[in-house]
Structure 1
């Protein structure tokens, strides 16, 4: 939840930071890219640390770096300082992202039942809380430094309180030997699935409002509904996901979710009507909701001794999709139109459905 709240806090105040620093769109793009750079760089080493020392020992410091990294953008007086702060913030987020997914695998083994999707649901709830609080702060015209300071303190307290309840490192996690340095074909395929789903999620964030407004000629208020419905359905369905995994198994769930996402989105685009499009975005959110958690679960349980590194590799490819999605949609839109471009996330969801057997647990 802390990770989602941190990202939601930052996102809600982007317009204020852009205004205060008098940045143009190009400069703001550089700043936004800095978060991804920090995250991807951190993911290259955090997996080894989590495997060697235990995910619990990595989570605490990573969470504090993430909280501290939120302070610097709030007090930044220039673009270079903002970029540096966001690299640090992204690095903290990358560390926590990998370590918390590795730790969730350990917790799930103790529970002896699926619980990973619920953790991802809490991430979504944290994002809603962070962005909601940020919207209130923006409405009340709370200065960004004051807002980010309060948020950073609250996050640090939450991280410290959570750290005390984490499980100790398991024997194979602490005594892990340096084996299997490369990426296995199975982990690569899981990374492709993560890339495909993240590409769809990134595309929805940036292009669903424009599709409704520019292509279907809706009002700005209606255009905002598309991504809101997508995000809400994703969060709600994640609270149901673990029960579905327990009952039907991960392969059946991922296959069904991929079909719902691909067919629902595709049908909504073909109808070329605002109501159909919003329903299609909702179905796309329902479909994507449980896939990424199952992809991470499969990566983290293939070999508990190197769960951190496998998760880091899959997470890196997932971030690639999140970054590439909006760009790819934009490029294709120049060649054709936005309706055609948005069929790509729908098609990739169908590919995920076909590749669902890769998430089957190893015997």
Structure 2
């Protein structure tokens, strides 16, 4: 480890290292597989003859898999380091897309979907923990660009998915997607940063932290991800139903949001290195609030799309900053802090969309989008906690 530490400090001025390339590829692979699943859902539902309600339950099974495996991954990272856990989770994830494609009945489909959600979630915690370790070794922020690679992977997976299914069929698509994911993992595998825990940490029992800080950061991640989930799942429907957008135009809400989010995630690390975590988070949150309010009060679809684009600029770096801070909590292992924050954050993405749908059915989306900035105001109130994200640049807390 001594030589590795020396190497890490020697390259801290470098912008791209092998470790950074590896963790970026892991984020790309994870996002790509999630993106590949989205266009398969209609065929999956048809093959297993699922009603809308049953499909909703199946998607909930995916979420339950994630929420079950994320804390387990956090505990294993505390014991074995993130490298081993991310390799194991990514390796186990590879065949699941094929399993989902070949599942002959509801029972095998549900098990496959639970495992898919589980290994996606476990890999998510581990790759975020590895990104924190790489940030520390490089002494520079990389978390935002890692999440940009996840967004890029999702965009490639979902963008090509429909075309490939039409050309190659569902099995051909699953085989090609699995092969590409295996290539991403194969290239990353030897370069993943090893971050073994200290011997005294290994003996310590893994348990939920009793200090409030990870839970407060988890709340920040949750309140940042609920608006993200709302735009992703309901933005198009809001534009179509309440602002009379055409089908083509209604798709631009999510596209504008995704585009500004991906661009700002690639720029986010440079901004954060310059301004620090707290100031960056405050600026981002103000952009997100302004964007969400503009979308809510928009007189037409075009104005709402501009609002969603502003919202994407804001939300882009809120979650990466919360994750970086979670991995740098003084006196708490990165894996434990991250598993709390990622689990709370992603539970917002999983639970909120159905709750929002229920509320919107009764009072409309306009009221929902007007209410969401309240969550972002809470993030603003807690923004001082983002100072822990800067633990990477000074080598201490």
TM-score, normalising length from structure 2?
0.87
Q: Which of residues 106, 114, 127 in structure 2 aligns to 1:100?
A: 127
Distance 1:277 1:319 in 2: 25
Match of 1:120 in 2: 147
Match of 1:182 in 2: 208
* Residue 263 (structure 1) aligned with residue 293 (structure 2): no
Aligned residues: 362
Match of 1:32 in 2: 59
Match of 1:195 in 2: 222
8 Å contact kept, 2:256–2:305? yes
1:66 and 1:306, CA in 2 relative to 1: closer, same or farther beyond 3 A? same
Distance 2:222 2:138 in 1: 29
Q: 1:177, CA displacement in angstroms?
A: 4.2
* Residue 223 (structure 1) aligned with residue 226 (structure 2): no
Q: 1:171, CA displacement in angstroms?
A: 4.9
Structure 1 gaps of 5+ residues are none
Match of 1:150 in 2: 176
Match of 2:368 in 1: 341
8 Å contact kept, 2:144–2:269? yes
Distance 1:304 1:135 in 2: 47
8 Å contact kept, 2:265–2:317? yes
Match of 1:46 in 2: 73
Distance 1:276 1:196 in 2: 24
Q: Which of residues 123, 130, 137 in structure 1 aligns to 2:157?
A: 130
Deviations 1:153-199 (Å, cap 9, x if unpaired)?
Answer: 32123213212101222453884442683332111111111111111
C-alpha RMSD of matched pairs (Å): 1.7
Match of 1:161 in 2: 187
8 Å contact kept, 1:51–1:305? no
Match of 1:298 in 2: 325
Any idea what SS the aligned residue of 2:191 has?
Answer: coil
Deviations 1:67-108 (Å, cap 9, x if unpaired)?
Answer: 122221110122211111011111111111000010111111
1:297 and 1:337, CA in 2 relative to 1: closer, same or farther beyond 3 A? same
- Name segments (4+ residues, structure 1) moved above 6 Å: none
Deviates more, 1:168-177 or 1:330-339: 168-177
8 Å contact kept, 1:118–1:242? yes
Match of 2:19 in 1: none
Q: 1:331, CA displacement in angstroms?
A: 2.9
Match of 1:357 in 2: 384
8 Å contact kept, 1:213–1:223? yes
8 Å contact kept, 1:17–1:144? no
Match of 2:260 in 1: 233
Distance 1:177 1:352 in 2: 35
Distance 2:335 2:342 in 1: 10
Any idea what SS the aligned residue of 1:181 has?
Answer: coil
Structure 2 gaps of 5+ residues are 1-27, 392-396
Deviates more, 1:353-362 or 1:208-217: 353-362
Deviations 1:307-344 (Å, cap 9, x if unpaired)?
Answer: 11111111111122112221232232244221011223
8 Å contact kept, 1:241–1:290? yes
Distance 1:221 1:94 in 2: 33
Match of 2:8 in 1: none
Q: Which of residues 279, 283, 297 in structure 1 aligns to 2:310?
A: 283
Match of 2:340 in 1: 313
8 Å contact kept, 2:165–2:173? no
